[in-house]
Chains A and B, each alone.
Chain A
Amino acid sequence: MAESVAIVFDRVSKAFDGRTVLNAVSLDVRTGTAFCLLGRSGTGKSVTLRHIVGLEMPDSGRVLVDGEDVAVLSRRDLSRVRKRMGFLFQNAALFDSLSVRENVAFPLRRHTDLGEQAIMSRVREKLAAVGLERDIDKMPSELSGGMRKRVGLARAMVLNPSILLVDEPSAGLDPITTREIDELLVAQKESGTTLVVVTHNIPSARLVADNIAMLHEGRIVERGTVDEMAASDNPLVRAFMQSEGGG
């Protein structure tokens, strides 16, 4: 049986104010696997993630999620597709008028018929998974950058999405917490979730990813398994893979 593909980029191009950010990018992510997108800052990695969830639409090319072209979906259908995805933003994007508890509960209240007890049980479970159960009543302004990131991850996971999009999960985290988050992402993958992770952290990519691609100046310059990337002849890829203890 052929492996199903969760996400396809088919020659996707995107420009902002005349500056090309993505230039005919093509890639695919198989269902239930983890895909890491590497690249220097400002090369379009976050823009790539935003295309998957329909926050950006391609100028040309197609983005398919479970076979559906995101750009042509009606608002209702786009909403249906988005409910299957969780998205951790680079700066967490917590709702700052809501407590940690309400931030994580937000998707459950909007999209499920769960009772209050079941919602709180799920919220506590996800917060415990990111090590923040004791901070449940804090407001986002009381949290450090790393804690905000972890709350964002708990919120992204709370609907048990089939696709989890994660933008820089380890930014601002200490090495121990980074390791815990990486293990959490691996557990998500093993439970069948498709992961797309944007990261600079090569050890994290090594631990989590089944496949890695490197984005440079709007193009995918190399892609492959972790070992294939480490053995790449491309000097940029080699430099990247050997950085931060990744060699």
Chain B
Amino acid sequence: MSATPDGLLLIDRTGERIIQLLASVGSFAIFAGRALISPVLPPYEGGEILRHLFHFGLRSAPLIATSGVAIGVVLSMHTRASLERFGAEAMIPAGLAIALIRETGPLIAGLLVAGRVGAGIGAELGAMRVTEQIDALEANAVDAFHFLVTTRVIACVLAMPLLTVLMDFAGVLGGYLAEHVASGMSWQLYLERSFTFISYADLLPATLKTTVFGFLIAVTASYLGFAASGGTEGVGDASTRSVVLGSIFIILSDVILVRVIFFFYPQVVG
């Protein structure tokens, strides 16, 4: 039985889409590979890295801190509702701290940074692409990838663990505020109970895994910004896709990273 012309057209278009998708994946992989290697190569753009670190880190701090406090309050209320049934209210600070430090803090911080910083990088580099500013850098004998992408990747990788620690701290503070209102628990007792079951194996891998989140956020947004075309619509598209893809990559990579942490730190399980 021969295929109809419509059927052939469908196969043709599907094949074309698959080839385009594979080409995009390949091109992204090359871009990410270059971003992985380039930080060790000169020139070292210290000034640019510090500038981005200020923008990504310090300027994200209010968002992270506010969200952290809110999440701490909400988690505390949920934890209290669950543990009260078993008469285990004394475990509320520890339960909340473990949940925050091991997973909630890093993941939420990653998603918030993907929203704020990823959108910004995608839009900024997209605008630079469509207004030929990236070409102008190259024409001025400046390696645009190194100057624009590498510096942002380094800054984002450095900023993420710092913001995660801030998120963890703000979350614990929020948990304390909720607990203080509910039971009048003191700050000192809350802290003591929070960190009873927390070890470096809980804190370090969970915090350091956010460097991977930082890398994925910056590389994805930079790639989409560099590939932007078509004027303001293209810039908007790059910005939106930076947030969407960055968030998806964070969540997917988290699954893998948690497995890796469990492998190297079996004591963290349970």
Q: Which A residues are within 8 Å of any B CB, using their own CB? A: 50, 53-55, 75, 79-80, 82-83, 85, 87, 89-91, 93-96, 106-107, 110-111, 155
Contact = CB atoms under 8 A, between A and B. Distances in A.
Contacts of A93: 131-133, 135-136
B138 interface: yes
B133 A82 contact: no
B143 A55 contact: no
25 contacts: A50-B135, A55-B135, A55-B138, A79-B141, A82-B139, A82-B140, A85-B139, A89-B132, A89-B135, A89-B139, A91-B131, A91-B132, A93-B131, A93-B136, A94-B133, A95-B133, A95-B136, A95-B137, A96-B127, A96-B131, A96-B133, A107-B140, A107-B141, A110-B140, A111-B141
Interface residues of B, number: 13
A53 B133 contact: no
Nearest to B124: A97
B132 A82 contact: no
A75 B131 contact: no
A110 B141 contact: yes
Tell which of A55, A85, A93, A107 has the most Cβ of chain B within 10 Å: A93
Nearest to B140: A107
Contact of A75 (B132, B140, B143): B143
B25 interface: no
Contacts of A75: 143
Interface string B116-151: 000000000001000111011111111100000000
B140 A89 contact: no
A24 B136 CA distance: 26
B139 to A, nearest CB: 4
Contacts of A107: 140-141
Interface string B201-237: 0000000000000000000000000000000000000
Contacts of B133: 93-96
Contacts of A55: 135, 138-139
A110 B139 contact: no
Nearest to B142: A110
Given A82-B141, A93-B136, A110-B141, 11 more contacts: A55-B135, A55-B138, A55-B139, A82-B138, A82-B139, A89-B135, A91-B131, A91-B132, A93-B132, A95-B133, A95-B137
Nearest to B138: A55
Contacts of A83: 141
- Which are the 6 A-B pairs with shortest beta-carbon distances? A93-B136, A82-B141, A93-B132, A87-B139, A79-B141, A83-B141
Contact of B140 (A50, A96, A106): A106
Nearest to B127: A96
A80 B141 CA distance: 7
Contacts of A155: 140
A83 B140 CA distance: 7
B205 to A, nearest CB: 37
A87 B133 CA distance: 12
Nearest to A165: B139
Contacts of B140: 82, 87, 106-107, 110, 155
Given A91-B131, A93-B131, A96-B131, A53 B136 contact: no
A83 B138 CA distance: 10
A90 B132 CA distance: 9
A89 B139 CA distance: 10
A54 B137 CA distance: 12
Contacts of A53: 138-139
Tell which of B127, B136, B137, B143 has the most Cβ of chain A within 10 Å: B136
Contacts of A54: 138
A90 B131 CA distance: 10
Nearest to A54: B138
Contacts of B135: 50, 55, 89, 93
